[in-house]
Amino acid sequence: MKRQFLVVGATVAALTLPLSGMPLFSDWATPVNIGAPVNSPAPEFVGSVSKNGLSLYLQRGVLLDEELWVVHRQTTDAAWEAPERLPDTVNSAFNDRAARLSADGHWLVFSSNRPGGLGGFDIWSCWREDVHDDFAWQPATNVGPPVNSAADEIGPTVVQDDEADTRHLYFSSPRSGGLGGTDIYVSDWDDSGFGVPALVSELSSPLRDEGAYVRHDGRELFFNSNRDGTGFHIWASTRETTADSWSAPVKLTTANSSGQELTPVISWDGETLYFASNRPGSAASDIYVAGRAKLRSKP
């Protein structure tokens, strides 16, 4: 599917505003089902998209037989090819979900309830030397405490803060000490390991807040939540700099539906949103894609 399809209907009215009042992006266009061969009769959920936009990681299956796959395309305007299952260095005989790439492409983090964890779903990681080979992942290892606990840890995302030259791991957990349900946490990650996770209170609620995915510049974040009692939908938050707190989350309008939306993932350029939905017209849970136009460069 060609990108120009994805931004049809994007408003440019903000171009008439003074520069200081202009948004960075237009509104989201109407989402489009990504179609076969990416979607199938089985439930699909988004994992992550590579920096060059040519590799899309996804999960097939839900609750039972959850496995991680990758699908490729030759250019960003080319059609997606048939998904391929990731090797057994990543997948297991248990449930493996939410595979997220680091910005440099060397790390893959995901959740799994395989043996060897601390309880329920834990976060695991893989490393590869060749960032262009999606099948060269070394055997997965459990990231251990203090990130993992006896509770579930799900939806991990690696965030590289180039401004501060630091790296962070966002994830969700129902562990004690949160606001209730499943809350969003962040842990510093350096060469010595992971720091004690901190609750991101401005993004969390008494209900379930999961699957945080941060734009590569660290200034915009998407996640799925049932915080307003209408089921799971996509919410977004922004911040001026990576040193600031996140803004109060806002529920997306065009991207959400009468169904449920999960696993939002933003492209490197911030112009394409991938997510899963069981809205009318989907098989079980299909992957959808929505586009927006960039109206100006960031300050």
At 12 the pLDDT is: 31
Rounded to an integer, the average pLDDT of 135-147 is 98
Rounded to an integer, the average pLDDT of 283-295 is 95
Per-domain residue ranges of the chain: 33-290
**42 has pLDDT over 80:** yes
At 196 the pLDDT is: 98
- Tens of pLDDT, residue by residue over 192-228, are 999 999 999 999 999 999 999 999 999 999 999 999 9
Q: With contact defined as beta carbons under 8 Å apart, do 273 and 265 qualify?
A: yes
Q: List, in order, residues 6 or more apart from 26 with CB less than 8 Å away.
A: 7, 10, 11, 12, 14, 292, 293, 294, 295
Strand partners, 275: 288
Strand partners, 125: 109, 141
Q: pLDDT tier at 101 (50, 70, 90 boundaries)?
A: very high
SS3 173: strand
End-to-end CA distance of the chain: 31
At 63 the pLDDT is: 84
User: How far is C-alpha 132 from the geometric centre of its chain's CA atoms?
Assistant: 20
At 10 the pLDDT is: 35
Q: Which of the residue ranges 25-34, 151-160, 161-170, 255-264 would you say has the lowest mean pLDDT?
A: 161-170
**Token pair recorded at residue 95:** 């449930």
**148 has pLDDT over 90:** yes
Q: pLDDT tier at 298 (50, 70, 90 boundaries)?
A: low
At 163 the pLDDT is: 81
Rounded to an integer, the average pLDDT of 67-72 is 98
Q: What are phi and psi of 247, to 5 degrees?
A: -70, 165
- The topology (CATH level 3) of 33-290 is Neuraminidase (2.120.10)
**Token pair recorded at residue 111:** 């959740």
**9 has pLDDT over 80:** no
At 21 the pLDDT is: 52
At 133 the pLDDT is: 97
At 170 the pLDDT is: 98
Largest CA distance in the chain: 57
